[in-house]
Amino acid sequence: MKTTRIIFWFVLSSVVCPLFPAACRAQAGQDSLAALDQATVSVAQKTGHAVVSISAEHVTRIPAARRYYFYGPGADDDMLRRFFDDYFGSVPQREFRRSGLGSGVIIDAQGYILTNQHVVEGADKLTVILPDGRQFSGEVKGADTRADLAVIKIDASNLPVARLGDSDTLKIGQWVMAIGNPFGFAMQNPEPTVTVGVVSALHRTLGNALAVDRDYNDLIQTDAAINPGNSGGPLVDLQGNVVGINVAIFSTTGGNQGIGFAIPVNSAKRIISRLIQGKKIEYGWLGVSIQELTGDLARYFGLGADQKGVLVAEVLAGGPADKGGMKDGDIILTFGNQPVKDVKSLLQMVGRSEVGKKVPIVVFRDKRSLALTVEIGMRSVESSEETPAVKQSADVTGAWRGMRVREDREGLVIVSVEPNSPADAAGITPGDVIRQINRVPVSTIAEYEKATRNLHGDVLVGVSRGYVILKEKTDKAK
């Protein structure tokens, strides 16, 4: 019977659609909209049951203090102090409480919830409210600032669980839904909110001003509204799979402007088990300062202008790369047998590498490929250091390709750059420190003048921020 019905509709459509194509297209459009409508409703109902609201309470305590102060003669008189204590008293210790709201998604039926680290950071008390209205105290089991992810635990069981998907399969333009529960406390409504949009972009990076000390270098961008309080909630596809953890919005007004970001769920899956166990998350470290490989730099080093790779600006002494034989000016072509496309891809590969693992790396040096093996170190929190006072020399060189330098204890510091000069065009700015000229180390004015004497054509200059190509002026001045 079912087969007969399918054949009947097939025959009918093959006869009717050629005669009435507009009607068939309209019907197909209605069917597509109905399918999309049903999919969003189904995901909202099913995955929404696993989305919770999180209230993080912070307590600031102000110590007790006297209402009065003594100065001058008699200030140390104990009898006088007791008199004023009896009649004026003192200000008691006070507490100021403030709460922040966020969201989370249940990833285990025994009460484990995934959220953002910034949602629970520094909280003295966590309260979790489920979509069915039940409230629980939450405990942070593990958190990682760099990944901006945390796992909290509530004392509950048999909870609805969201299914974790595969963020590596996401495509730009794919429909997604952002689910959060920012109003579970404020509006006494435990049901989550749902917004719908598409994946606007992949592998987005937030600048240091927004990221602070977090690694926001591989984010999903979506136009599904991510409003304040939705941080920590899931971004899901139309099959109900969690593909990201909502983390931030980019806005000039503080509200949604169609630019939201989520952490790919695959980044979370790599560390969830360690977060649950309360273990420290370790990130790999290579010990190099790197920069993008431009077409001019590639040609200078003898590579094709379209060659992919990353230029090593500096190898840190005693670091893993130094011990593995890497040198300043090497171009990293592959890492762990994977091609290196750009700085971001290398940072991701190194960061995800197991600490202590020996990784094969191919570099390009002196116009030939060289195979190295580097044992990955552990990335540590970098401590800030004050710049020591610099004793400057009175000697300043004449302009060479538009820049003047001065010798001091840091090395050769650029003190001025002429507008529209080769140095200006290359992006050199005052304050940069010159380390190399055409791969020749320079640290004094004498070495600098010797290295730059009679140079023609493109010149490779190594400065404190990396390598640049200085082109020769077309006129006679240098």
What distance in Å separates the CA atoms of residue 284 and residue 274, rounded to the nearest whole number?
16
pLDDT in tens, 311-351: 998 888 889 999 999 998 999 999 999 999 988 889 889 98
In order of 111, 297, 316, the CA distances from 158 in angstroms are 8, 59, 51
- Band the pLDDT of 230: cuts 50, 70, 90: confident
Q: Write down the pLDDT at residue 217.
A: 81
Q: Is 405 left (phi over 0), alpha (psi -120 to 50) or beta?
A: beta
Look at residue 185 and tell me whether its pLDDT is greater than 70.
Answer: no
**DSSP 8-state symbol, 284:** E
Which residues lie below 8 Å from residue 389, measured CB to CB, with a gap of 6+?
none
- How high is the mean pLDDT of the chain? 80
pLDDT surpasses 80 at 35: no
Q: Looking at the predicted structure, is the pLDDT value of residue 109 above 90?
A: yes
pLDDT for 103: 93
Domains of the chain: 51-67+78-281 (2.40.10.120), 284-378 (2.30.42.10), 392-470 (2.30.42.10)
Q: CA 329 to CA 306: how far, in whole Å?
A: 18
Q: How much is the pLDDT for 409?
A: 72
Rounded Cα distance, 346 and 362, in Å: 13
Those residues whose C-beta lies under 8 Å from the C-beta of residue 335, and which sit 6 or more positions away, are 346, 349, 350, 359, 361
**231: confidence class by pLDDT, cuts 50, 70, 90:** confident
Most confident of 53-62, 132-141, 300-309: 132-141
Q: Where are the alpha helices (DSSP H) in 20-77?
A: 21-48
pLDDT bucket at 428, cuts 50 / 70 / 90: confident
How many whole angstroms separate alpha carbon 275 and alpha carbon 282?
11
Contact present, 264 and 215 (Cβ < 8 Å): no
Q: How far apart, in whole angstroms, are the C-alpha atoms of residue 401 and residue 477?
A: 8
pLDDT at 413 over 70: yes
Q: Lowest-pLDDT range, 3-12, 75-84, 120-129, 450-459? A: 3-12
Q: Closest Cα to residue 46, out of 175, 154, 220, 194?
A: 194
Q: What is the pLDDT of residues 293-308, one digit of tens each?
A: 888 888 888 888 778 8
| Side-chain-side CA neighbours of residue 324 (13 Å) | 28
In this prediction, residue 57 has a pLDDT band, given cuts at 50, 70 and 90, of confident
State the catalytic residues: 118, 148, 231
Q: 370-405: buried (b, 16+ CB within 10 Å) or exposed (e) per residue?
A: eebebebbebeeeeeeeeeeeeeeeeebebbbbbbb
> Which stretches of 274-366 are assigned E, i.e. beta strand?
284-285, 288-292, 310-315, 331-335, 338-339, 358-365
More confident residue, 252 or 174: 174
Instruction: Kindly tell me if the per-residue pLDDT of 97 is higher than 70.
Output: no
Task: Give the pair of three-digit tokens for residue 219.
Answer: 């984010």
Question: Over the stretch 370-398, which tens digit does the pLDDT of each residue have?
Answer: 999 999 998 875 433 232 333 344 466 67
Please count the other Cβ atoms lying within 10 Å of the Cβ belonging to residue 323. Answer: 14
Report pLDDT for 12.
47
49-63, 74-88, 131-145, 406-420, range with the lowest pLDDT = 74-88
